[in-house]
Every structure is written in C-alpha cells, then in structure tokens.
Structure 1
Amino acid sequence: MPIATLTLNPAIDVTYDIDRLIPDYKVHAAATRYDPGGNGINVSRALKRLQVPARTFCVLAGETGLFLERLLQRHLDDPAYIRIAGETRINCTLLEQASGSQYEVSGIGPHLGTDRLDDLLDTFVDYVGEGCGVVTGSVPPGVGPDVYAQLVGRIRAQGGRPVLDAHGELLRLGVQAHPFLVKPNRYELEQLVGRPLPDADTVAGVLPQLKEYGINYWCVSLGGEGAVLFDGHRLWHARPPRVPVRSTVGAGDSMVAALVAGFAREMDTAEILRLAVACSAGTVMQPGTELFDPERLPELLQQVEVTVIDKRTRR
C-alpha cells in the first residue's frame, strides 16, 4: 500500500558535542553533526532503513532549504517539495558530556500561506489514497491547530490509514477525527487526559478509557520503560533492552516508522511492538539525530521483552 509522511515544518538539525555549558562564556564543540530534521522526515528515514518504501512530502524555504534539500538527497528517495519564501528553520541540540544532559532549541520556521498549504495537502492526500498517511511534528506560522484533524478525516474518508504523532492542540483535535494509530509519549498523553501517569501500569489503566475516540491503536512511548500498545481489546507492554543513551532525538520517530512498517507487513501485534521498541532503543544509542543501525536490530529484537497486560486488573 502507498505510505507517505508529511513534514510541514522541517529543519536542519545541528548537534554539538560539548564538555559543559558555562554561563556567559563561549564553549567549543568537540564534534558537530548536520542532519535533515522534522518528525515526518525522520519517519521516512527510518522506514527506508526498514526497507519499507515511503514518499516524503515537505516544505523548503530559502538558503537553508537548499541545504536541507542536499541533505535529503543523501537520505531519502524522491521526496516531494513545495518551496516558499523565508528560511527553513534550524534546530540545535547540545550534548553535554560532563553531565550527560541534552539541551534542545527548536526554530520557528517560515510562514506557510493557505494557498501553498492547500496544494501540498491535496497532493499528499491523493498520494496516500487507501494507504497510510503519517502526519506528525510541529506546524509553522500560518497553519492552524486543526490541520492534522482535517487530514485524518480526509484520509479516513477515502479508506486510508492515518497515523498521528503530535502534541498539544494538534493532538487534542487530531484524535477526535479517529486516526488509525496514535503514538503519544507519556507527557503528551498526560496532557490529553489531564492527570499524571507515572508508570506503565497507570498508562495501561487509562488507555481502555479512551475507546470513545474510535482509534484502532494507541501506542504510548515511555522512555526507559519501553512502550504500551492498546488495540481496543488487548494491552501489551514492551520493555526495552539496556543500552547506552547518547541522544534521544528521533527515538519516537523511529518507533512510529517501525509501527507503520509492522502494519504494512501484517505482522503480529506483539511483534510490531517489539520492532518499535527495538528501533527506538537503537536510535538512542546514536549521536545527534542519527537513527538506528539496521544491522543491530536482530540483536536488539531478542532483548525486547513483550508481555500481555490483563486490563481487568488495571484501575
């Protein structure tokens, strides 16, 4: 089936390895990376590593957009662009070696007008058809918070499978349009339900209460606790392998890509979750916004523990 990702607010991701941040002093990087950024772009990059074809739709602007285009040519096959005025944003990640801390600054992005946006969305939806459309990430100035809800509804109406990974109003409005799959992290789910969810058990307890949204699958990423997957009837919890964490950027996007790949291949649900957690774990082992190494996946898959949760015991 056709698979497409949409990135309305892509970026160039710049990562600096530094010893430590010192207030009011210049610090020098020990290493610098430049990667194509944006959640949808990362999902497409991960899908390519899983050997699942996907078309990438995104927006380019200005000189930084030209640089991003060159980066994308190294990572993706035949992406589809529209070009607008302004400059593609630059995101910065600082990896502080002394403390092991990670600092992230995200740019704003250029204004995207209604006419250009409508053209891009129409092309994206037409390409998806009855396939899978992944809508994820932030939106630039000029784009309303209901854009993902509209896309989810349009893809559903034509028999496709919309996948949503967003936060805030984009998530709150998007889930009301009944996506096929939603992949919030713990914090995003807490904002949606309005209460703390301190561990995997409380997450598993709240997911059956969300059946009213009419969503086929919920997958909640939990960092070091792995992820919980709910299909409307059963709950699974996957615990990740113990791996060294270098950068968490792209871990959620790798999980989304693995979920999409698993459904495209019609894998068993537990094995889809196993693949998702293995890809996420493989990504946190990499520097900057680099994604998992496909050659390490067999080893990581063996280390992921997947169990069925009896929802009757959840509160």
Structure 2
Amino acid sequence: MSALLSGAAQPIGVLSLNPAVDMTYEIPCLLAEQKAYAISTRFDPGGNGINVGRALNALATAAQNYCVIGGDIGQLLKRLLQAQLDHLDYEVVAGETRINGTLIELSPRQQYEVNGIGPEIPASQLNALLDRFVDHSAQGFGVLTGSLQRTLPPTLYADLTRRIGDAGGRAVVDSHDEALCHAIEAGPFLIKPNRHELEALLGRRLDSLEKVAAEARQLQRRDIDYVCVSLDREGALLIGPENSYHASTPAVVVRSSVGAGDSMVAALVAAFAHGLAADHALRLGVACAAGTVSQPGTALFTAADAEHYLPAVTVRCLDI
C-alpha cells in the first residue's frame, strides 16, 4: 500500500469495548423448521472496532487496538486477533466474549445478522483500559466505534471525545442512536453515519443526495471537522470545513456488506493520519468499502482490492 499511503502516520488508537467472534455460514436456502446445511463456514474476529483495526492493518497503517476479552470465546478471539493485528492491548474480564452470527442465503440472495451480548466490564478495568487508549490517542487519532455493553452509559463516547480533544488528539466516532447524539455535542474530528442512521438522528427521511448533503453540512457546522455519510450503492459524502465531496461506488459484485462501513472509517483515518487531502481520503474510503463487499462473510478488503477499485472511484466537489 506504499503507493497509496506513503510516509509516517500519526498514532492511531482504536477502542473495541464489545468485540466478538464473527461466525458466518453460506447456505443454499433458509426454510422454517428445516435444517440448513452450510456450504462454507468462516470464523473471524469481529465487532466494529476490531474491523477498523483489521482494515488499518490491511492499509499498512499502524494502530494500537484496545479491547476486552472474556472466557473461552475470548481466548479464541485473542488468537484470531494476534494473527491479524500487530498491536493489541486488552483486559481479561469475567464472562464470555460474544458471538455474532451471519447467515448468507444464496437463493434468493439475502443476508441475516444476529449480534450477541458481550460481558460486563468492571469499572477498574474499564478505567485502566480507557486511560491507556486516551493517552495513545492524544498523539493523533482515537477511533470510537461499535456498540456499548448495556451497563455502559450512552455518554461514554462523548466523554472520551472530550478527553481526547483536551489532550490534543482527534476523536473519530462511528456510532448511532443516543451514543451518536451525545458524541456530536462533544465536537469530534469526524463522524460517519450511514444514511439510515442520519435519518434516525433527524427523525425524517432524506430522499435525495442533495438533502443528505445539506443536513450533513448542518451537522458539520456544530463544531465537527468532517461528516462522512455512506450511501450504499450511491457512494459516500464527505463534508469538511472547506469543501464537500461526493464519491461514486465502483461496479462490484456484492457478496457481503459486513465490515464495509468499518473499512471506510479505517481508510479515512489512515488517509488523514498520513496527511492526505479530504477528497483523496474519501476516494480511498469508498475503494476499501467496495473491496470489502466483494469478500465473503466477514472478510475485509485486501491491499490488492483497494488498489484495484481506487481508479474506478470518481470524486466530485459539491457546492454545499
């Protein structure tokens, strides 16, 4: 990836408070009360933050990954992570790391996802992990993404955004519902809702790209440097302090959408950490997301995928 991201990057910390082992089955057909036989099975380390860390690794961009693991499933997760991540910092907690399930039905082509429930994190271990994460992110970027355990407050990402900013770093938030609402008020460097999450935040439908861009600009003016909105097959928008951009999605055969948004977040962070301009960051983000949807199950893009799709991504400047 040196041809895409050259030179040293600023430090990046990635927080994964609710990681998982992702189990994916491809099946011919799913019928009620009938046994389905898989034609392929995958086990991958999962959870949004973990996916961001894996994607950064694919982009040859160093990141420190902070997570919690629990029980036998947690030990499996640790082995999977150690094979795919270079820098792992974790707390071992009681209980079991969750398992997320994905069923990919081939005829008709449909995808079903079930997310498990993760273990509780004792306050002392949580605080120790968060302190290490903030200390590292203060030198560059801190990525806050994914679901929170039910016992954690929805203001946690907002609190961490403020801590990272006060320490001199830049917080990147990819969340939804209450956690996103609170984080917006804390003024992160970047947020990346998809269109559905933005509509849920606003409480109304946005039935055109222009309406999405206009609302993203209003959000950006609330002390947020960049707002990226992913639009599925319509590409993505990136609204910044100086310009706004739309990137098209290249033609790709979709095998699984799991991890596409995480791949985009990772590419944006990697690009900014390497000093790239916003339009180049968006182009790389869409190329990496396209590479991920071309992969089976919860597999992510490869460096070769990103290089393949990058020339096919068209970025245009918007007057918004």
TM-score normalised by the shorter chain: which range applies? Answer: over 0.9
1:161-187 Cα deviation digits (max 9, x unpaired): 100000111101111100000011111
What letter is aligned with 1:61? G
What letter is aligned with 1:163? V
1:89 pairs with one of 98, 102, 114: 98
Inter-partner Cα distance in structure 2 for 1:160 and 1:129: 4
Bigger Cα displacement from structure 2, 124-133 vs 246-255: 124-133
Inter-partner Cα distance in structure 1 for 2:232 and 2:97: 29
What letter is aligned with 1:47? L
1:78-102 Cα deviation digits (max 9, x unpaired): 3001011000000000000001110
8 Å Cα contact 1:168/1:191 also seen in 2: yes
Inter-partner Cα distance in structure 1 for 2:74 and 2:308: 37
1:209 pairs with one of 218, 234, 240: 218
8 Å Cα contact 2:11/2:273 also seen in 1: no
Say which SS state the counterpart of residue 229 (structure 1) adopts.
strand
1:211-267 Cα deviation digits (max 9, x unpaired): 442000000001000100000342100001010000000000000000001101111
Inter-partner Cα distance in structure 2 for 1:179 and 1:219: 12
- Aligned counterparts, 1:23-172, within 5 A: 23-172=32-181
8 Å Cα contact 2:17/2:67 also seen in 1: yes
8 Å Cα contact 1:130/1:155 also seen in 2: no
Inter-partner Cα distance in structure 1 for 2:299 and 2:133: 26
Q: In the alignment, is residue 310 of structure 1 matched against residue 319 of structure 2?
A: yes
- Aligned equivalent of 1:300: 309
- Aligned equivalent of 1:240: 249
8 Å Cα contact 2:138/2:170 also seen in 1: no
1:131-150 Cα deviation digits (max 9, x unpaired): 10001000113211111000
Inter-partner Cα distance in structure 2 for 1:89 and 1:298: 33
Query: Which runs of no fewer than 5 residues in structure 1 stay unpaired?
Result: none
- Aligned equivalent of 1:276: 285
Q: In the alignment, is residue 287 of structure 1 matched against residue 301 of structure 2?
A: no
Say which SS state the counterpart of residue 83 (structure 1) adopts.
strand
* CA drift at 1:300: 0.6
2:195 pairs with one of 186, 191, 210: 186
8 Å Cα contact 1:114/1:143 also seen in 2: no
* CA drift at 1:268: 1.9
- Aligned equivalent of 2:20: 11
2:260 pairs with one of 238, 251, 254: 251
8 Å Cα contact 1:113/1:143 also seen in 2: no
* CA drift at 1:115: 2.0
Say which SS state the counterpart of residue 213 (structure 1) adopts.
coil
1:267 pairs with one of 252, 276, 281: 276
Inter-partner Cα distance in structure 2 for 1:81 and 1:211: 33
Change (3 A) 1:299 1:212: closer
Find runs of 4+ consecutive structure 1 residues off by over 6 angstroms.
none
Query: Which runs of no fewer than 5 residues in structure 2 stay unpaired?
Result: 1-9
| Cα root mean square deviation, aligned | 1.0
1:12-55 Cα deviation digits (max 9, x unpaired): 00000001110011111111000000111111111111111001
Inter-partner Cα distance in structure 2 for 1:157 and 1:79: 25
* CA drift at 1:298: 2.3
8 Å Cα contact 1:94/1:103 also seen in 2: yes
8 Å Cα contact 2:161/2:188 also seen in 1: yes
Inter-partner Cα distance in structure 1 for 2:208 and 2:65: 34
- Aligned equivalent of 1:2: 11
Aligned length: 311
Inter-partner Cα distance in structure 2 for 1:239 and 1:133: 27
Inter-partner Cα distance in structure 2 for 1:206 and 1:6: 28
